[in-house]
Chain A
Amino acid sequence: MSSYDVSAAAVKTPSVSIPVRRSLSTRWISLLTLFGLLAIWWAVTATGLIEPLFLPPPSAVLQKGWLLATSGYMDSTLWQHLGASLSRIGLGLVFAILTAVPVGIAIGANRIARGVLDPLIEFYRPIPPLAYLPLIVIWCGIGELSKVLLIYLAIFAPIAIATATGVRTVDPAKLRAAQSLGATRVQLIRHVILPSALPDILTGVRIGLGVGWSTLVAAELIAATSGLGFMVQSAAQFLVTDVVVLGILVIALIAFAMEMGLRALQRKLVPWHGQAH
């Protein structure tokens, strides 16, 4: 209805309506969509259309969120579950970056390293991490190590592959320029190859974090005694739907925050990316 009104007004007074339509930026449209969803959620629960067992009202989820943050659920607060999940992915990420970037550079810059490492990575990369989780549990037990190892493996491949791609697509003219200024092989890697590949490395980290986060939560659903995935799973067993919904929302928020943070980091670290130079 309202959209029809706007377009009708646009026909009558185009000079006024164009700036009005332009002022509604994409960000606002996205925000309005979110609020619309929330409103529908509130409406179907407030009118009793859907029972609270299946979908609790937003207010109940919020209240439960407060309760979880202060007194906790399943022996630990929301923060402890969140902390457990974040420390796992943080550890996995740090180790993955520390190892995958050198491996990626080796694959991209050295023929023998490519021959050895490329098939290994390409072999395990397409396997869903949850498929080899049971094997990791057999080898490393059900403790923190197996979860961090799983995340590490999930993040490692995207970063290594993205780094190798970045290294392979370094502008040969820049390499020659550095060589004609007297650069040694190590200096080439440090001053030309690594900065050239940085945009690709960050893209790899973004993809890796997305994969790692979903893998982590799924792993916690299966084998854990803490973490957001565990919280959701145990709440579902007792049909505590508001905790389930809350957990899902927190998981989504964290994923969103990581993506936005990395995009901001990419803008800050590689401002030349996408510039015609």
Chain B
Amino acid sequence: MALLQLERISAQYPGSQPVLADISLTLGPQQLLVALGPSGSGKTSLLNLIAGFVEPSAGRITLDGVPVKGPSAERGVVFQDDALLPWQDVLANVAFGLELAGVGRDKREQRAREMLALVDLAGFEDRRIWQLSGGQKQRVGLARALAADPRVLLMDEPFGALDAFTREQMQELLLQVWQRTAKPVFLITHDIEEAVFLATDLILLAPNPGQIVERLQLDFGQRYAAGESARAIKSDPRFIETREHVLSKVFSQRSAVPRQERA
């Protein structure tokens, strides 16, 4: 029962404008928290803070009450560009976290096979990384993060580089995996439909400096996980209404803030 808490987090890189200001949020079991925002709203910085790659300039991040210090296997990360290791085959990549933890070969490969089956990649164990498509690489990245059995899963625009068809498949796969593993997921994206479809909790970030301007509780992902079809959900008037609401929020933020976006 993992509980991730951010209390009044601010972040600032030396000699520049603050990137994030006064962010508070909690992420617990059964939650899929999506941070949505345009470029420069500090989404990736927020994820890097939670992952422990950078330290906040103010505030506190805790996981089950223990302060977060540096990266650790308890917070698994799926990266935008897969960040897989090309000198290992698919199975070894998925088993990598367990190898680092000193788990024996048989045990870690068995676990890796289970994870590959979970992301529908059974039979791909011996493939080389460069023989995979973009969607397959992201599945391996997801399986690798899950194999280390993290307490929370962090996803950095995981489907941003995929084509539209693959992206929809991957969103559905993520919901299935989330349902089955029951791990809290923190996902960042700039795709509004993706955010509304996946999130149980949606936070909308605005830039200069990055701040939360809206919080929504949604249930479309849960409806998908409960068996409703993705097309039925996405054509539901409530879904469209929510999507338009979020869209208008994003645009009102855009016009309110003078254009000084950073990539």
Contact = CB atoms under 8 A, between A and B. Distances in A.
Whether chains A and B associate is yes
A180 B73 contact: yes
Given A176-B53, A272-B86, A181 B73 contact: yes
Contacts of A272: 86-87, 128-130
A184 B101 CA distance: 10
B75 to A, nearest CB: 6
Contacts of A187: 100
B51 interface: yes
Contact of A182 (B51, B97, B129, B154): B97
Contact of B84 (A182, A271, A277): A277
A176 B77 contact: yes
Given A271-B128, A272-B130, A277-B129, A182 B83 contact: no
B148 interface: yes
A182 B52 CA distance: 11
A195 interface: yes
B150 to A, nearest CB: 8
Given A176-B51, A179-B71, A181-B144, A191 B130 contact: no
A171 B83 CA distance: 8
Nearest to A190: B100
Interface string B66-97: 00001111011101010111110000000011
Contacts of B101: 182
Contact of B148 (A171, A182, A271, A277): A182
Interface residues of B, number: 29
Interface string A266-277: 000011100111
A98 interface: no
Contact of A180 (B75, B81, B85): B75
Nearest to A274: B130
A264 interface: no
Interface string A189-203: 001100100100000
A16 B204 CA distance: 66
Chain B CB within 10 Å — which of A181, A198, A270 has the most?
A: A181
Interface in B17-42: none
Contacts of B154: 180
Chain A CB within 10 Å — which of B79, B86, B154 has the most?
A: B86
A272 to B, nearest CB: 4
A177 B100 contact: no
Chain A CB within 10 Å — which of B83, B101, B144, B145 has the most?
A: B83
A181 B51 contact: no
Contacts of A183: 100
Contacts of A171: 83
A82 B99 CA distance: 46
B97 A275 contact: no
B130 A276 contact: yes
A72 B136 CA distance: 63
A56 to B, nearest CB: 51
B51 A180 contact: yes
Interface string A250-277: 0000000000000000000011100111
Contacts of B148: 181-182
Given A176-B77, A176-B79, A272-B87, A182 B100 contact: yes
Top 5 closest pairs, chain A to chain B, by CB: A182-B73, A272-B86, A181-B97, A275-B130, A179-B71
Given A180-B145, A181-B73, A181-B96, 8 more contacts: A177-B144, A178-B96, A179-B53, A180-B71, A181-B148, A182-B73, A191-B100, A272-B87
Interface of A: 171, 173-174, 176-184, 187, 191-192, 195, 198, 270-272, 275-277
Interface of B: 51-53, 70-73, 75-77, 79, 81, 83-87, 96-97, 99-101, 128-130, 144-145, 148, 154
